[in-house]
Amino acid sequence: MSVSLDSLASGRRAVNRKNNRDAILDAARDVFAEIGYGGTTVRDIIRRTNLASGTFYNYFDSKEAVFNALSEEIGTELRQLLRDVRQRATSFDGFIEAMFLTYFSYYANNRENYMLTRSNRGRDGMNEVMQGPQVHAGFAELSDDIRQAIAEGVIPQLDVEFLTASLGGVAFSILDEMMEREPLDPEAAEQFATLLSMTGVRGNGG
């Protein structure tokens, strides 16, 4: 079956559009990580690409739109990794260990994503360490996974909201400390976070 010229041209345009969008996102990831969200301009992003300035606006209408697209990409990827390991856990310890190790390892292996995420803190004069749609979605999924694990007897009967908040707080706080160290050691971060979390829970009769 022959392929029409129109089909070939349409396919090339689709590939070109994807390549352009990816180029903008890659450039923006680097710029946000290097100079922060507040200091970044659309011009800074365009300068890191080989695209004409007008091309940017065919895909995004602002630096915020690019930032949101990157945040969604990172959040979707990380949240899926976390859900996979949590839902495979067969013990409370395994649930906590796998979750922390996956979380810390992801950012240790993707430092630019951590720097991009951190660059969002302080936007509009707010501390957004544990804010934003991706964080809220991640907390909701963690709560769901905890409820499921409790129902299956993997996790003891504990307050789901308190456990979700405490695990999230420990993860965020230790991540920042880990990322300041050289060499990065996600295993050490996981071990400390797990010990801190499990000792506290068990000390409370869990």
pLDDT of amino acid 188: 98
CA dist 205 and 46 (Å) reads: 56
- Average pLDDT, stretch 101-117? 94
pLDDT of amino acid 168: 94
- Average pLDDT, stretch 102-125? 82
pTM of the model: 0.84
- Helix pair angle (160-179, 186-203), 10° resolution: 150
Q: What percent of the chain has pLDDT over 70?
A: 84
CA dist 153 and 146 (Å) reads: 10
CA dist 79 and 141 (Å) reads: 8
Q: Give every CB contact of residue 90 below 8 A, 6+ residues apart in sequence.
A: 154
- For residue 176, the enclosing domain spans 5-203
pLDDT of amino acid 38: 86
DSSP string, 49-101: SSS-HHHHTTT-SSHHHHHHHHHHHHHHHHHHHHHHHHHH--SHHHHHHHHHH
Q: 64 versus 11: which is more confidently predicted?
A: 64
Arithmetic mean of pLDDT over the chain: 88
pLDDT of amino acid 76: 95
Number of domains in the chain: 1
CA dist 184 and 197 (Å) reads: 21
pLDDT band at 132, cuts 50/70/90?
confident
Q: Give every CB contact of residue 24 below 8 A, 6+ residues apart in sequence.
A: 45, 49, 51, 56, 59, 60, 66
CATH of the domain at 112: 1.10.357.10
CA dist 97 and 94 (Å) reads: 5
Phi and psi angles of residue 141, each rounded to the nearest 5 degrees, phi first: -70, -40
In this predicted model, what pLDDT tens digit does every residue of 5-63 receive, in sequence order? 555 556 666 668 899 999 999 999 999 988 888 889 999 999 999 998 889 999 999 99
Query: Which of 202, 178, 206 shows the shortest CA–CA distance to 190?
Result: 178
pLDDT of amino acid 9: 57
Which conformational region is residue 192 in: left (phi greater than 0), alpha (psi within -120 to 50 degrees), or beta? Answer: alpha
Q: 32 versus 201: which is more confidently predicted?
A: 32
- Average pLDDT, stretch 147-165? 97
In this predicted model, what pLDDT tens digit does every residue of 66-93 receive, in sequence order? 999 999 999 999 999 999 999 999 999 9
- 147: pLDDT strictly greater than 70: yes
101 touches 190 (CB < 8 A):
yes
Length of the chain, in residues: 206
pLDDT of amino acid 6: 58
- 64: pLDDT strictly greater than 70: yes
Q: Which two tokens stand for residue 206?
A: 């869990």
- 124: pLDDT strictly greater than 60: no
